[in-house]
Chain A
């Protein structure tokens, strides 16, 4: 079945550091890929998405590129801020009429001043 594997957290970075959160996936067909973010005390919200190979999703300074050859969708940001402290979830939908998002386990990011 479909699965998403994220790097284990927690990740602690200093402000303005470079961020990478690794995400790899296993899926049948041609999945769409997503990053969701959960800020403290809030529900998840969509951060960015990519629907086909080589697409780059971007939002709020975050980027991720859909790499079919490595089945990866790593999240990157060049300079993190304290306000980026949150839990980040990689997710996929395998398409072909599937109604289900498959989520990774989440990676907690803490950014310190």
Chain B
């Protein structure tokens, strides 16, 4: 069965901390995505990666960076967390030939205090 695993379901961090959100997929997918999900705003794409060490900015990359050192793992980094980054973060993956069929993890709910 297809699986996208996000390392934490809930995280609480302090303003100014460096935060790492980890995502691992076991489907050998080329594409991986990070979204944030906020009430009334739906899903917004933060970053996309189509290969190891490759990345593209999405709609809201400010305040975030990403790392993809291995095909199965895609990390989202908040260099200096701020309260407006409190949100639900969703990771997804897809095959390169069918990027519209995305498989999502269960999400990490991050609270920045």
Contacts and interface: CB of A to CB of B under 8 A. Distances in A.
B45 interface: yes
B41 A105 contact: yes
A25 interface: no
Contact of B42 (A41, A43, A106): A106
Interface extent on B, as a size class? 20 to 34
Contacts of B101: 46, 49
12 contacts: A32-B100, A43-B4, A43-B90, A43-B105, A44-B104, A45-B104, A46-B102, A99-B99, A100-B48, A103-B42, A103-B44, A105-B40
A77 B91 CA distance: 29
Contacts of A93: 99-100
A95 to B, nearest CB: 10
Contacts of B45: 100-101
Interface in A47-105: 49, 89, 93, 99-101, 103-105
Interface in B61-102: 90, 92, 99-102
Contacts of A89: 42-43
Interface of A: 32, 34, 38, 41-46, 49, 89, 93, 99-101, 103-106
Nearest to B41: A105
A99 B31 contact: yes
A49 B100 contact: yes
Interface in B48-70: 48, 50, 56, 58
Contacts of B34: none
A41 B100 contact: no
